[in-house]
Amino acid sequence: MNGFQWKMGDRALALKPSGIRKFFDILESMPEAISLGIGEPDFVTPWPVRDMGIYSLEKGFTKYTPNAGLSELRTEVARYMRRHYGLSYDAQRQTVVTVGGSEGIDLMMRAVLDPDDEVLIPQPSFVCYGPIATLVGARPVYIETTAENDFRLTAAQLRGAITPKTRLLVLPFPNNPTGAIMEWADLEAIAEVLRETKIMVLSDEIYAELTYGTRHVSLAQIPGMYERTVVINGLSKSHAMTGWRMGYACGPDEVIQTMVKIHQYAIMSAPTTSQYAAVEALRNGDESIMAMREEYDTRRRFVIDRLRGMGLPCFEPLGAFYVFPDIRGTGLTSDAFCERLLREKKVATVPGEAFGDSGSGFVRCCYATSMRQLAEALDRIESFLENINK
Amino acid sequence: MTEILRLLAKDCALTHAQIAAMLGVTTGEVAAAVRDYEDKGVILGYKAVVDWEKIGIETVTALIDVKTTPQRGEGFDRVAERIYQYDEVESLYLMSGGYDLSVLITGRTMKEVALFVAEKLAPLEAVTGTATHFLLKKYKERGAVFADREEQQERMKLL
């Protein structure tokens, strides 16, 4: 060592480290803990999809693909978007295959944002939007959704947050961590506000296939919104393919082509094996989606019922695979609640404030785990609550 | 309430309270529906899928193809009934194709199974021939896989 001094970039330095870091460390020392803290399907990728990945390897399909993705896959993406959401995209010009939905978010922000632009981000929400916007030099502006509104974004909140500098709205629904969804009327009200502006929209619809009792509506389906919206989606949640890193983005020609330009410099192309598997998933996987959705739905009802039975207020989440009970009645902060629950009962959950200030007082529980594990975890939570109340 | 059957067919260890929560009905309604299904013979039984080998208990299972002479007015039902009365017979199916009945039996030893075929099955008047196939290894039974599932060791635990 000759005392070389690294100098980190200011924007990277300014990023906050993950608020749940300490939970990782506790969990590491506790192999027998039940984790309701991981936002990922417990299902293994359906066998025909895995088989197609293996088959592509046997055939020796191990080269780069075109930058924007296999044209066969983009054709399936376009068909899928039409079949599931009634949205028409030209496969070759209006779709790009990305490394997970996350890369799509990164690409879109880099494609449209300049320093000092404001990005509206409803919270609680997934943790990546603010940091990515910050890295581009843009300024995240958070809109706190509330339990009273079922954690939906309201037109009034949106209108109140818009300034002349607002360039982009992130629409993270179905929502992680709350499980909230936006229905047609909710989106129509948002569209009404947007129409008077030049604000672009990043609609993160990675949980689109996981809605219960109602079909997902994309903002791009609302009249006048298609032209200003990039839809981010992927196969991680819908087809239980998190590890394959398969996402895609669809939107107007101009923005998608700019995203492809960045993607070709930064990533080249998404993993080839995963793309072949994704073709099979999108082409023949609808039944697997339905089967998994039904399974999640029964677990969802079971978990809500148990949590409410313990006296934890719990609004009914109609999307994703999370419940977001209100733990303020316990007198603990959500951080303390989660840490004690983990240490005392070995159940991992995530404090709501990890997803934004308005998440404080709430706890995210993921129910994408087996009924047996869920039942055991809920018994432990119940006994934890009894101990607190003593 | 056929949803209840779908859930129980997949996992009969679910309690009535769990099923009730999953379906959004009361525990009483589930209990009543299950009792009704049992009474009507819609639910015929609840059995665990056991890997006996794992605890060192050896069993022998055989699939026996049986050719029979159907009987006037009764078809295959009469001979089938005479076969399924034996406790050793775990399953019995009427088949299309090269033989008529397929008998699945489990015994403690190969000899025990062979004796059953020789002394009980083959001598039945309507039985004209048998072919016994012994199971060498069970991979999957009623949806349950016998091999230990390998879990991905290194994975994200929180996000």
Residue A21 has pLDDT above 80, yes or no: no
Q: Using alpha carbons, select from A301, A133, A128 the residue that is nearest to residue A212.
A: A301
Q: Which of chain B's residues have a Cβ under 8 Å away from the Cβ of A348?
A: 157-158
- On chain A, the residues whose CB falls within 8 A of the CB of B18 are 302, 371, 375
Written as one string, the DSSP assignment of A292-341 is HHHHHHHHHHHHHHHHHHTT-------BTTEE--B-GGGTS-HHHHHHHH
Nearest residue of chain A to residue B158 (CA atoms)? A38
How many angstroms separate the CA of residue B21 from the nearest CA in chain A?
A: 4
Cβ–Cβ gap A299/B18 under 8 Å: no
Whether residue B14 and residue A371 make contact (CB cut-off 8 A), yes or no, is: yes
Q: How many CB atoms lie within 10 A of CB A77?
A: 26
CA–CA separation, A359 vs A88, rounded Å?
36
Each residue of A133-191: pLDDT tens digit?
999 999 999 999 999 999 999 999 999 999 999 999 999 999 999 999 999 999 999 99
Measured CA to CA, the distance from residue A248 to residue A105 in angstroms comes to 10
Across the interface, whether the CB atoms of B159 and A301 are under 8 A apart is answered: no
Query: Which of B14, B22, B152 lies at the smallest CB-CB distance from A301?
Result: B22
- Per-residue pLDDT band for A19 (boundaries 50, 70, 90) equals confident
Q: How far is A243 from chain B (nearest CA, A)?
A: 9
Length reported for chain B: 159
The helix or strand, by DSSP H or E, that contains position A118, with its residue range, turns out to be: strand A118-123
Residues of A in contact with B21 (CB under 8 A): 301-302, 305-306
Across the interface, whether the CB atoms of A299 and B22 are under 8 A apart is answered: yes
| % residues pLDDT > 90 (chain B) | 82
Per-window interface: B 18-77 vs A, CB < 8 A: 18, 20-24
Residue B122 has pLDDT above 80, yes or no: yes
pLDDT of A270 above 90: yes
The answer to whether B10 contacts chain A (CB < 8 Å) is no
* pLDDT band, very low/low/confident/very high, at A20 (cuts 50, 70, 90): confident
Which are the contacts of B77, defined by CB distance < 8 A and separation ≥ 6?
none
What ipTM, to 2 d.p.?
0.75
Instruction: Judge whether residue B159 has pLDDT over 80.
Output: no
Token code pair at residue B54: 């794992």
Q: Which domains does chain A have, with CATH numbers?
A: 17-39+287-389 (3.90.1150.10), 47-284 (3.40.640.10)
Q: Inform me whether the pLDDT recorded for A1 exceeds 70.
A: no
Q: At what angle do helices A253-266 and A100-112 cross, to 10 degrees?
A: 110
| Per-residue confidence band for B158, with pLDDT thresholds at 50, 70 and 90 | confident
Which residue of A32, A301, A342 is the best one to mutate when testing the B interface, meaning the one whose CB has the most B CBs within 10 A?
A301
Confidence (pLDDT) at A2: 75
Provide the percentage of residues in chain A whose pLDDT is more than 70: 99
- B72 vs A292, higher pLDDT: A292
Rg of chain B on CA atoms, in Å: 21
Whether the pLDDT of residue A268 is over 70: the answer is yes
Beta strands in A157-244 (DSSP E): 166-171, 200-204, 229-234
**pLDDT tens profile A211-242:** 999 999 999 999 999 999 999 999 999 999 99
Instruction: Using a CB–CB cutoff of 8 Å, tell me whether B143 touches chain A.
Output: no
How much of chain B, in percent, has pLDDT values that exceed 70? Answer: 100
Q: Per-residue confidence at B21, pLDDT binned at 50, 70, 90?
A: confident
Give the mean model confidence (pLDDT) for residues A243-249: 98
Distance CA A319, CA A342 (A): 26
Q: Shortest CA distance to A124 belongs to which of A106, A103, A107, A143?
A: A143
Q: What is the mean pLDDT of chain B?
A: 92
B157 lies within 8 A of chain A by CB: yes
- A388 falls in which pLDDT band (50, 70, 90)? confident
DSSP structural state of residue A290: H
pTM of the model: 0.90
Nearest-Cα distance to chain B for A38, in Å, is: 5
Contact B33, B48 (CB under 8 A): no
